[in-house]
């Protein structure tokens, strides 16, 4: 199986992982991007997001506890579609999937990560910021990409420009997205979801203020409902 074919499969919703992810995004097209310093916070954060109406989350592999956090959520909160972010290479991909990640997100485009995910049937969303990067992803068979960093890369106008050329591509803008501009991004037809860290502030996690996280999730769900119906 070549990389183009397998990657197209990984981005489709025809397998179990893809269906679960699609269902989560359909209910609320917002993906919390979570940085954890302590794996013991993983399950409470997942439960708070779920109570607020978000059944999906991405834990970034920026900290040593991230694999343990992913495993804890996969085991204790299976109704949450848990993914791994900041996956930079094949070794990190293997760690993420072995600990229970159901989808993979990268800040950039790494062909090895895309190929491995395609071979395993795992949804993978590599990051792009330019037309050239998006063309490379498109030629690998990728049809859903992370647009990152969205704010610095041109925001909504850039998304509209890219969408006019790559008409079969969907985007997950991340980086500079917040409650104040979430509606603007979700109003772009090619945007399948938005990602953001504003939903899980580091100080709220550290202090155990999970009610605040639940409230931010509810606010995001409300914004999404207003703009997506």
Average of per-residue pLDDT values in the chain? 91
Three-class DSSP category at 147: strand
Q: Choosing from 146, 160, 214, 226, which is the catalytic residue? A: 146
Q: pLDDT at position 26, please?
A: 75
Residue 125 belongs to a domain with what CATH number?
3.20.20.70
Spatial strand order of the sheet with 124-125 comes to 124-125, 103-105, 81-85, 56-60, 30-34, 194-196
Whose tokens are 């990067």? That residue is 133
Mean pLDDT of 172-176: 98
Q: pLDDT at position 27, please?
A: 76
Q: What is the pLDDT of residues 219-229, one digit of tens each?
A: 999 999 999 86
Q: What is the pLDDT of residues 114-143, one digit of tens each?
A: 999 999 999 999 999 999 999 999 999 999
Mean pLDDT of 145-159: 98
Q: In the annotation, is 146 catalytic? A: yes
Mean pLDDT of 150-163: 98
Looking at the structure of the chain, the number of domains it has is 1
Three-class DSSP category at 145: strand
Which has more confidence, 209 or 229?
A: 209
Q: In the annotation, is 58 catalytic? A: yes
Sign of CA dihedral 159, 181, 210, 53: negative
Whether the predicted pLDDT of 146 surpasses 80: yes
Mean pLDDT of 66-89: 98
Range of the domain at 39: 3-228
Q: pLDDT at position 5, please?
A: 36
Q: Choosing from 37, 58, 98, 111, which is the catalytic residue? A: 58
Q: What is the pLDDT of residues 3-60, one digit of tens each?
A: 333 344 344 332 334 556 777 777 789 999 999 999 999 999 999 999 999 999 999 9
Mean pLDDT of 172-198: 97
Has this prediction a pTM greater than 0.85? yes
Spatial strand order of the sheet with 127-128 comes to 127-128, 144-147, 170-173
Distance of CA 62 to the CA centre of its chain: 15
Where helices occur in the chain by DSSP H, the ranges are 3-11, 16-27, 42-51, 66-76, 90-98, 111-120, 131-139, 155-165, 182-186, 202-207, 210-228
């Amino acid at each position: 199986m070549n990389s183009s074919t397998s990657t197209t499969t990984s981005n489709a919703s025809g397998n179990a992982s893809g269906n679960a992810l699609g269902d989560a995004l359909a209910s609320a097209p917002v993906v919390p991007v979570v940085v954890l310093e302590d794996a013991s916070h993983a399950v409470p954060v997942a439960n708070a997001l779920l109570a607020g109406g978000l059944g999906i989350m991405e834990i970034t592999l920026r900290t040593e506890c991230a694999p343990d956090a992913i495993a804890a959520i996969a085991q204790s909160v299976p109704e949450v579609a848990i993914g791994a972010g900041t996956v930079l290479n094949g070794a990190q991909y293997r760690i993420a999937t072995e600990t229970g990640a159901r989808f993979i997100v990268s800040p950039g485009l790494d062909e090895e990560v895309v190929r491995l995910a395609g071979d395993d049937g795992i949804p993978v969303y590599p990051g792009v910021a330019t037309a050239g990067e998006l063309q490379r992803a498109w030629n690998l068979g990728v049809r859903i990409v992370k647009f990152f960093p969205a704010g610095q890369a041109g925001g909504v106008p850039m998304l509209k420009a890219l969408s006019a050329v790559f008409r079969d591509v969907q985007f997950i803008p991340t980086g500079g997205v917040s409650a104040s501009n979430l509606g603007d991004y979700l109003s772009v037809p090619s945007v399948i979801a938005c990602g953001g860290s504003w939903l899980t502030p580091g100080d709220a996690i550290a202090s155990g203020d999970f009610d605040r996280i639940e409230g931010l999730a509810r606010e995001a769900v409300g914004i999404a409902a207003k703009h997506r119906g």
